[in-house]
Amino acid sequence: MGVELTSNLDSGNKTGNNKTESKKILEMRGITKIFPGVIANDGVDLEVNVGEIHGLLGENGAGKTTLMSILYGLYRPDGGEIIFDREKVEFHSPGDAIRAGIGMVHQHFMLVSKMTALNNILLGYRTPKDPLMDYEWARKRIEKLSKTYGIEVDFDEQIINMSVGEQQRVEILKALFRDVKLLILDEPTSVLTPIETERLFKALRRMSEEGLTVIFITHKLREALEVTDRITVLRRGKNVGTLITKDTNERDLARLMVGREVEMIIEKKRKESKEGKAVLRIEAVHARNDRGLPALKGINLIVKQGEILGLAGVSGNGQKELEEVIVGTRKIEKGRLIFNGEDITDYGVARRVALGISCIPEDRIETGMAPSLTVEENLILRDYVKFTKNGFMDFEVIEKHAEKLIDEFGIRTPSPKVAARTLSGGNIQRLIIARELSRNPLLLVASQPTRGLDVAGIEYVRKRLISFAEEGKAVLLISEDLEEIMQLSDRIVVIYEGEIRGVFEREEADLEKIGILMSGGALEN
């Protein structure tokens, strides 16, 4: 199928970007990269035209980052060749790639947090007055770039005080400052709010107009369709097709990406009645964050039986602290927590687990599991006391329990005895969901439950959340993904700087209103 689609393209003269038709800036041929046990890239061909925004789409683990890391000189390929700007190249380090005119903004930023944006941009760069730093010259140059592409940054602010979106803009300017011809962005939108995403897309379009070429990595179909000229889809390390964006659609892309039909929209049926017993009542809760600053400033919330309550908000506005307050790992300064009629404010974590409070934590790997322990051990991580006989672990029951859950929740693992660290992100998420749902809880706090998951993984997690709520249980869904909140929630609340800024029934909620509240704005009536 891939061949067919690609050849379609070659013969066609309706390339996405008219002015630079068929002038290639990059050709990767037969790129192969093998990691122990996985073929991350399997003979991948990729052609990118000058001045286009080229989407690189694929599920998690499809090999997108690996392919681009090879181009950027981070990995050496096991096979294949790269032609950049009409020359065959072989990069031994990112330094080589940068000199040749390639810039890359990674999924995880690589900035020095205690330095200003300006210094970060200049890091390792030789200004004309080298060895002296010519700040005047640099500042002018950056300001010009900033204006040209509409990328605004406070140059004298330290990175540590910046939002993730702003940090990303620093990274982009850092690359542009080095006169790149090709800019690679690895899943840039995964950390952005909807508004920031829009701004980024505008900047990308400006770059394209100025003749810059952009490779935009994503696993979100809608974004790929919105901003790119052409899209290359990777599946399991192979190029399964390069398509012209305006000639394709979500459904086809999803099918290419996953290799089967996918349900694109999963919506929760509305709850029959608006009434319902309150499972969790959060009353005027105050709490501080790790740095000792107020993070929750008098939160009031009720989560009812049979409903999914969506908590919308940009990361860092108190969601993580709220999650921890409910789980019991963070102290409450003021306020009360009532669970099922019982005041649990002073209860420890284990007691809350036993009462039926489950949680898919935002930090799955940092908090949700013990990576060096086995899959079966991780499946009893929070209930291990239940799996003992007179203080001794009951290994037989533990193994049976693991086999049952692996089967029921479709966790892909070679055996229950391998280290959980070796599972893919989607399977780690399944493991955690399996563990948290297996104790048959009354409340599930699901924090960013689909972040970083691929289309199939998202489909799975959302279905699970819905069926759980439809059993009459309660879900508090904490998510930055507004679309997810809109599709799944019965009611929606918005959190901003540790305060609840708005409560909506789903039918009265709209993206725009919520977006405004999420970024601290007020609604006019």
Partner 1 sequence: MQIRIEKRLETPKIVYIIIPVASILASLLFVGVLLLAIGVNPLEAYGVMLSRAFGTKFGFTELFVKTAPIILTGLAVSIPLRAGLWNIGAEGQLYMGAFAASFVALYFSPPVIVLPLMVLFGLLAGMAWASIPGFLKAKFDLNEIISTLLLNYVAIYWVEYLVYGPMRGKEVYNFPYSDLFNDYAILPRFFGTRFHVGVIISFLIAIAIYILITKTSYGFAVKIVGSNPKAAEFAGISRKKIIISTMLIGGAIAGFAGMMEVSGLHLRLRAAVSPGYGYTGIPVALLARGNPLFVMVAAFLFGLLYVGGSAMQTTFGIPVAIVDVFQALVVLFIIGGDFFTRYSISFGDKGEKYEGEKG
Ligand X SMILES: Nc1ncnc2c1ncn2[C@@H]1O[C@H](COP(=O)(O)OP(=O)(O)O)[C@@H](O)[C@H]1O
Name the residue number minimizing CB distance to Mg ion.
65
384 interface partner picked from ligand X, Mg ion, partner 1, none, CB below 5 to 8 A per type: partner 1
What is the tally of helices (H) and strands (E) in the chain? 17, 22
Greatest distance between any 2 Cα atoms in the chain: 76
Q: CB-wise, 58 or 61, nearer to partner 1?
A: 61
Looking at residue 291, what DSSP letter applies? T
C-alpha angle 219-224-229 in degrees, rounded to nearest 5? 140
Q: Does 43 bind partner 1 (CB under 8 A)?
A: no
**E strand or H helix at 337, and its extent?**
strand 334-339
Taking CB under 8 A as the binding criterion, the range among 30-38, 127-135, 231-239, 478-486 that sits at the site for partner 1 is 30-38
Among 315, 334, 323, 361, which residue's Cα sits nearest to residue 497? 315
The nearer residue to ligand X, 63 or 188, going by C-beta atoms, is 63
For residue 19, give the nearest of 51, 55, 53 by alpha carbon.
51
Q: Cβ 34 to partner 1, closest distance in Å? A: 4
The amino acid at residue 413 is T
Among 34, 38, 145, 225, binds ligand X (CB under 6 A): 38
Which residue number, 183 or 443, has a Cβ lying nearer to ligand X? Answer: 183
Is residue 351 involved in binding partner 1 (CB under 8 A)? yes
- Residues near 139 by Cβ (< 8 Å), separated by ≥ 6? 118, 155
Stretch of 55-63, 319-327, 381-389, 413-421 contacting ligand X, by CB under 6 A: 55-63
The entry of Mg ion, partner 1, ligand X, none that residue 249 binds, CB within 5 to 8 Å by partner kind = none
If binding is defined by CB under 8 A, does position 393 make contact with partner 1?
A: yes
Per-position x/- string for 298-327, each x denoting binding to partner 1 as judged by CB under 8 A, each - no binding: -----------------------------x
Applying CB under 6 A, does 162 fall inside the site for ligand X?
Answer: no
* 416 scored as a contact of ligand X (CB under 6 A): no
Sign of the four-CA dihedral 323, 326, 329, 335: positive
Q: Which is nearer to ligand X, 106 or 513 (CB)?
A: 106
Q: Can you say how many angstroms the Cα of residue 415 is from the centroid of all Cα atoms in its chain?
A: 28
Q: Which of 60, 148, 289, 438 binds ligand X (CB under 6 A)?
A: 60
Q: Which does 137 bind (CB under 5 to 8 A by kind): partner 1, Mg ion, ligand X, none?
A: none
Instruction: Give the tokens for residue 165.
Output: 């979106």
Q: Which does 66 bind (CB under 5 to 8 A by kind): Mg ion, partner 1, ligand X, none?
A: ligand X
How does DSSP classify residue 234? E
- Residue 381 in the binding site for partner 1 (CB under 8 A): yes
Q: What is the amino acid identity at position 145?
A: L
CA dist 198 and 226 (Å) reads 10
Q: Are 497 and 317 in contact (CB under 8 A)?
A: yes
Q: Please, what is the minimum distance in Å from the beta carbon of residue 213 to Mg ion? A: 20
For residue 116, state whether it binds Mg ion (rule: CB under 5 A). no
Strand residues in 21-180 grouped as ranges (E): 24-35, 38-49, 53-58, 79-84, 87-89, 102-105
Among 41, 49, 65, 378, binds Mg ion (CB under 5 A): 65
- How many residues bind Mg ion (CB under 5 A)? The answer is 1
Beta strands in 170-268 (DSSP E): 182-186, 213-218, 230-235, 238-244
Report the C-alpha gap between 416 and 364 in whole angstroms: 19
Q: Does 40 bind ligand X (CB under 6 A)?
A: yes
Report if residue 356 touches partner 1, rule: CB under 8 A.
no
If one asks whether residue 64 binds ligand X (CB under 6 A), the answer comes out as: yes
What are 493's strand-pairing partners? Answer: 311, 503
Distances (CA, A) of 182 to 123, 151, 166, 186: 20, 17, 21, 13
Name the site residues for Mg ion (rule: CB under 5 A): 65
**Residues at the site binding ligand X, with contacts judged by CB under 6 A:** 35, 38, 40, 58, 60-66
- Residues lying near partner 1 in the complex (CB under 8 A) are found at 34-37, 76-79, 327-329, 348-353, 359, 361, 363, 366-373, 377, 381-382, 384-385, 388, 391-393, 418-419, 421-422
